[in-house]
Amino acid sequence: MLEFITAKEIAAKLEGTLPAGFSKFETLTCHSAEARRLTLFDSGTLDDTTKTGGKGEDKQEAYAQTLANELSEHGFVAPEVKGYIGSVIADENGRTRRTIVELSDGSEHRHMHGYDVKKVFTPKP
């Protein structure tokens, strides 16, 4: 049975299980580095899509950013969370990471290597 849990619940489960100084986290969750949909596929747009935007109830934050913030709230000293832009594809060992990035116009960039679309998030104050 699948279990769906929030970033806060993940951080709470890890608290006390890993040392507070543990810092390297990675989420293979699809779109975990996206705060908004991509419109173009270039380095500036890739960076922009990861940034938190909006205010109040319209605020959008990348899942990896939320997880980094929650890990910090649960006692991890300097967590770094890697997230991915697009849909993640990994081999059975979790090693070969490629993604399919879909733009807002419906076009796709297929089989991008993870290092092209992997972003690292640290807690925000």
**Ordered per-residue pLDDT tens for the chain, 125 residues:** 778 889 999 999 999 999 999 999 998 888 898 887 766 666 566 677 777 766 555 568 999 999 999 999 999 999 999 998 888 877 777 666 677 777 777 778 776 665 678 889 999 98
- Does residue 44 sit within a domain? yes
- Does residue 48 sit within a domain? yes
- Does residue 6 sit within a domain? no
Number of separate domains in the chain:
1
- Does residue 17 sit within a domain? no
- Does residue 2 sit within a domain? no
- Does residue 64 sit within a domain? yes
Neighbours of 20 (CB within 10 A): 14
Q: Which residues contact 92 (CB under 8 A, 6 or more apart)?
A: none
Query: Residue 47 sits in which domain range?
Result: 23-121
Instruction: Give the CA-trace dihedral at 51, 117, 23, 124, to 10 degrees.
Output: 0
- Does residue 115 sit within a domain? yes
- Does residue 117 sit within a domain? yes
